[in-house]
Structure 1
Amino acid sequence: MNTKLRPKMDFDQLFAEHDADFTKSEQKIVDFFRRNMDEAPFLSAAEIAQRLNLSEATMVRFARTLGFESYPALREALQENFRSRMTHSARLRGRIHDLREAGDIFERLVASEIDYLTEAMQTLDRECLNAAVELLRTHKRVFIFGLGPSVSLVDLLHIRLTRVGKQAVRLDTSGQEILEPMLLMGKDDLLIAIGFFNLTPTMQLVLNHANQRQTPVILVTDTLGPLVSEKANVVLAARRGPVSAFHSLTVPMTIINALLLALSSADQENVMAHLDQLDQMRAKLRGAS
């Protein structure tokens, strides 16, 4: 049976309905979910199994006991349930409450950003970062996708990539305007897709189109990697703090800055030539004014 839960279904109710079916090991999993309902949906079976000193096979059996075909199917339903409950306003209210409770809002915010950056140092896969740099180095035209708050990251990438000689194409609208530039995408191009928390229909469309055109994909994300990793050549994933919190863009912006600096180092001759040319043009512009 393939259980498909309604977005706002109570998982406590589902656990209660199957309580008599759980083994002792599976009851440990239930207890873990009940204590960690904000974090658990975004952990893999291996991560939870390690924390509980269980096997991954036990995690799979647990999902099937609940009526799911696999553990990834259960996790997808848990994430859907979480996202339906955790609205932007709820996350912001919670964040403001936490900061006020701690006292100085600015001080606590800076401290939490430092904590998230420190965590990102441990979790960002350096081999993936190196692979992303190589894709950037070897592709002239780069499409950059991002919506909502991620548009500021699109701006950053567009400016910096243009400065080092790349042809950067923005994909930062969710309407029909995004379709025309997408038609230019081909196998000799590169797509950098930026997305967090929700896998939007527009993001799905862009990723599917890139795959159809055989365009390599770099995905910058926090929790979406497991959902769309098969659509990306490289996933640059780092958590931005608790999933239920209101997030800034400090961590993904740092990842992008690291990517751009590593590109400049790997392709220094070409990058410096373009920057020198830019400086010359700026000097001429100043002289003409």
Structure 2
Amino acid sequence: MTLHERIETQRGRLTKTDRALLDTLLSSPEDAVHWSGDDLAGHAGSHPAAATRLAQKLGFEGYPHLREELRQERREAQKPLRGAGDRMRAELAEHQTGTVLDTFLRAEVESLAAVAECVEQTRLDGIADAIAAADTVHVFARGNASVLTELVERRLRRFGVRVVVLDGDGRELAERLTALTAQDLVLAFAFRRPPRLLTGLLAHAAAVGARSVLVTDTLHTLDPAPDVLVAARRSDRDGFSSLTVPMAVTNALVLTLAHRHPDRTLPALDRLDSLLRTFE
């Protein structure tokens, strides 16, 4: 079980002090892997024994074991990623027995079944409420994950939510972010490794007071960290990884928004129906 999965499992038991320790730990992972428990408690403004209590609450014998888990996860994250060709070769090697369809579906079903173990509905509730309260939702992704920005943009626009897609290079991103305010929300998607512009985006969101949400699979120790992290593994395979799991999470988020805020979303859909009749 990863550190993030341990945190998710115990989220309901975490105290204000525990959360302060975790925020400090995960917002400075490069430094935190060298801290003692007293160091962590000092940075978080907590009692020296608090780090040990947190580690034990998360299932570790003591704080050094928690720190070693964080160190190991960072070591794994820093390993060079295999190229697309190597990943596809690994994927094809898994299809030596059975059909491609059977093998693929089996892996996807297993991954989808595991989502409920690491993504709590209460977390989606909070994000849906933040979207409903935001003046504008700024959506960010790069590479294959960009498919999710199109899905989110279309779904949220139908609900009457103002959406800005943060695409383009660094200059274009900067131009779009000039309008970001504390009343806005940044919704980002990133997998395997953080895109080059993601850390700058999260830092700017924090600087202006905008809330940030990251939907990911394995990115648990970003610096700076997003305000809300939704992490669900896409599969345990080293080869091809689809967007089935994050797309399911995204659709669940959209449905949660409709469920929790029908007074906003349903009239917007009615207006859309009326406009469609007009323009058709």
In structure 2, the CA distance between the partners of 1:281 and 1:171, relative to structure 1 (3 Å rule), is: same
For residue 101 of structure 1, report the CA deviation from its aligned partner. Answer: 1.2
1:21-40 equivalence runs, <5 A: none
Give 1:284's aligned residue. 278
CA RMSD of aligned residues (A): 2.3
For residue 75 of structure 1, report the CA deviation from its aligned partner. Answer: 3.1
Whole-angstrom CA distance in 2 between matches of 1:206 and 1:143 = 10
Q: Is the 8 A contact 1:137 1:266 kept in 2?
A: no
Give 2:190's aligned residue. 195
1:1-289 equivalence runs, <5 A: 55-57=61-63, 59=65, 63=68, 72-81=70-79, 84-98=80-94, 100-228=95-223, 231-242=225-236, 244-286=238-280
Q: Give unpaired runs (5+ residues) of structure 2.
A: 1-54
In structure 2, the CA distance between the partners of 1:60 and 1:254, relative to structure 1 (3 Å rule), is: closer
Larger Rg over CA atoms: 1
Q: What secondary structure sits across from 1:204 in the alignment?
A: helix
Q: Is the 8 A contact 2:125 2:257 kept in 1?
A: no
Q: Is the 8 A contact 1:145 1:192 kept in 2?
A: yes
For residue 142 of structure 1, report the CA deviation from its aligned partner. Answer: 0.3
Q: Is the 8 A contact 1:154 1:172 kept in 2?
A: no
For residue 201 of structure 1, report the CA deviation from its aligned partner. Answer: 2.1
Whole-angstrom CA distance in 2 between matches of 1:142 and 1:58 = 40
Q: Give unpaired runs (5+ residues) of structure 1.
A: 1-45, 64-70
In structure 2, the CA distance between the partners of 1:60 and 1:127, relative to structure 1 (3 Å rule), is: closer
Q: What secondary structure sits across from 1:227 in the alignment?
A: coil
Q: What secondary structure sits across from 2:229 in the alignment?
A: strand
Q: Is the 8 A contact 2:132 2:161 kept in 1?
A: no
Q: Deviations over 1:38-77 (max 9, x none)?
A: xxxxxxxx79x96xxx62445268x5xxxxxxx5345323
Q: Deviations over 1:2-28 (max 9, x none)?
A: xxxxxxxxxxxxxxxxxxxxxxxxxxx
The letter of the residue matching 1:282 is L
The letter of the residue matching 1:121 is A
In structure 2, the CA distance between the partners of 1:55 and 1:162, relative to structure 1 (3 Å rule), is: same
Taking structure 2 as the reference length, what is the TM-score of the superposition? 0.74
The letter of the residue matching 1:257 is N
In structure 2, the CA distance between the partners of 1:226 and 1:125, relative to structure 1 (3 Å rule), is: farther
Q: Is the 8 A contact 1:142 1:191 kept in 2?
A: yes
Q: Deviations over 1:90-121 (max 9, x none)?
A: 222111210x2122101211121111000112
Q: Is the 8 A contact 2:111 2:234 kept in 1?
A: yes
Greater RCO, 1 or 2 (C-alpha within 8 Å, sep 6+): 2
Q: Is the 8 A contact 2:142 2:195 kept in 1?
A: no
Whole-angstrom CA distance in 2 between matches of 1:184 and 1:277 = 27
Whole-angstrom CA distance in 2 between matches of 1:216 and 1:271 = 21
Q: Deviations over 1:178-216 (max 9, x none)?
A: 221111111011110111110222111111111111110
For residue 127 of structure 1, report the CA deviation from its aligned partner. Answer: 2.3
The letter of the residue matching 1:255 is V
Whole-angstrom CA distance in 2 between matches of 1:231 and 1:85 = 22
Identify the range of structure 1 (243-252 vs 110-119) with the bigger mean alpha-carbon deviation: 243-252
Q: Is the 8 A contact 1:211 1:231 kept in 2?
A: no
Aligned pair count? 226
Whole-angstrom CA distance in 1 between matches of 2:184 and 2:210 = 6
